[in-house]
Amino acid sequence: MMYAGVLHGPGKIEYQEVDYPEISGNEVIVGVKYAGICGSDIQRVMVKGAYHHPLVPGHEFSGVIEDAGDSKFHTGQKVTVYPLIPCKKCHSCDSGSYHLCDNYNYLGSRCDGGFAEFVKCPSENIIPLPENISLENAAFTEPASVSFHGVSKAGIKEGDTVVVYGLGTIGMLVAQWARLMGAGLIIGVDRNSYKHLTAKSLGVDYCISSDENSAEIIKDLTGNRGADCAFECAGSASTQEKCVIVSKKGGRIVMLGNSESDFRVRKENVPQILRKELSIYGSWNSTIKDDWTKSIDAMKNGKIRCADIITHRKNLSEIKQVFEDLHQKSYPYIKVIFVI
């Protein structure tokens, strides 16, 4: 037996004993050490529920190989895990775009994930870690890769002005990748001003809270031109529309935020998309080959800083209370991570 956080339905998560996973074929067992809580987990656990119940959530984690099975890995090896298991049969998989698979399985949303002492994973999804990366940092490989995937779409050129709407984990990582790719001025916008200090320590030059008029301030800061690239990492209708308003002519917008509302640009602002010839990109997930390799490399070299984003380290036994608090916004937080 082992302990896990088990979701039984929306709002019903319990820390309880469950069967130790059994492996077969190409599977291995990872002993989880760190597992981050993603914004999507809060929705899944507290509001929407998972694809089926009971389910162990958690898709951002790191740990050590506990049982290597028939794989090439060895017990005790430090690893992180790519959570998406592609079908390898659909059109996207045929063309190598596994992250766009029509019929994927997913650790932590469709099959048991990392909010547990142990998790069963296909060996193909195991990413061995270099010695000089901490397991705590490695638990950020998923969000770091999702962010890299999005920033890569924007085609940032040296000196570009970048705006990031939403300074959660993804926004903080997007800002850092943008800097690495050559961005000049980086402006962050978030209604929670307690996030501004962290954002600035990670290289954001100027922070705006949402009770200020970000469009006016960005106009001033860019000499009326607007931003070269805007990243939507908040997932709200108002920030989506703001991205259209603050972009310069020929500007690029990348949408990364999971939205809980309609995508809406008011009719008086629709002409801006046309007149400014804006490009709007969607970004989904990350690729195990390119994005994950890049992320681990950048984290290893200290070029992407993750530990600074962590505001709370929690014990897995507290999972029920943690999710209730995050859902109720009982305290200010950026990244909450379970130490297992």
Cβ 28 to Zn ion shortest distance, Å: 22
* List 90, 185, 215, 339, residue binding Zn ion (CB under 5 A): 90
Residue number with CB closer to Zn ion (125 or 214): 125
Residue number with CB closer to Zn ion (115 or 246): 115
User: Is position 87 an interface residue for Zn ion (rule: CB under 5 A)?
Assistant: yes
- Look up tokens 């694809």; give the residue: 51
The stretch near Zn ion (CB under 5 A) out of 18-26, 90-98, 167-175, 183-191 is 90-98
Buried b (16+ CB within 10 A) or exposed e, 98-125: bbbbeebebbbbbbbbbbbbbbbbbbeb
Report 217-276 residues binding Zn ion (CB under 5 A): none
User: Is position 37 an interface residue for Zn ion (rule: CB under 5 A)?
Assistant: no
Cβ 258 to Zn ion shortest distance, Å: 9
The stretch near Zn ion (CB under 5 A) out of 95-103, 181-189, 226-234, 295-303 is 95-103
The stretch near Zn ion (CB under 5 A) out of 26-34, 79-87, 253-261, 278-286 is 79-87
Rounded to the nearest 10 degrees, how much is the dihedral formed by the CA atoms of 150, 44, 64, 202? Answer: 40
How many helices (H) and strands (E) in the chain?
11, 17
Cβ 164 to Zn ion shortest distance, Å: 17
Residue number with CB closer to Zn ion (109 or 198): 109
Q: What is the DSSP string of 275-312?
A: HTT-EEEE--S--TTHHHHHHHHHHHTTSS--GGGEEE
Q: Is-cis flag, bond preceding 54, omega within 30? A: yes
Residue 50 burial (CB count, 10 A): 22
Do 101 and 84 form a contact (C-beta atoms < 8 A)? Answer: yes
Name the amino acid, one letter, at 233: C
* List 30, 42, 93, 144, residue binding Zn ion (CB under 5 A): 93
Q: Inter-axis angle of helices 237-246 and 214-221, to 10 degrees? A: 20
Cβ 144 to Zn ion shortest distance, Å: 11
Identify the helix (H) or strand (E) that includes residue 7. strand 2-9
Q: Number of residues in contact with Zn ion, rule: CB under 5 A? A: 6
Question: Facing residues of 247 across strands?
Answer: 227
The stretch near Zn ion (CB under 5 A) out of 12-20, 82-90, 117-125, 244-252 is 82-90
User: Is position 38 an interface residue for Zn ion (rule: CB under 5 A)?
Assistant: yes
Question: Facing residues of 253 across strands?
Answer: 230, 280
User: Is position 284 an interface residue for Zn ion (rule: CB under 5 A)?
Assistant: no
d(CA 2, CA 114): 13
Residue number with CB closer to Zn ion (276 or 314): 314
Name the amino acid, one letter, at 242: K
User: Is position 336 an interface residue for Zn ion (rule: CB under 5 A)?
Assistant: no
User: Is position 181 an interface residue for Zn ion (rule: CB under 5 A)?
Assistant: no
- Look up tokens 């970000």; give the residue: 214
User: Is position 100 an interface residue for Zn ion (rule: CB under 5 A)?
Assistant: no
Residue number with CB closer to Zn ion (118 or 140): 140
Residue number with CB closer to Zn ion (251 or 257): 257
The stretch near Zn ion (CB under 5 A) out of 15-23, 35-43, 125-133, 253-261 is 35-43
Which residues lie near Zn ion (CB under 5 A)? 38, 86-87, 90, 93, 101
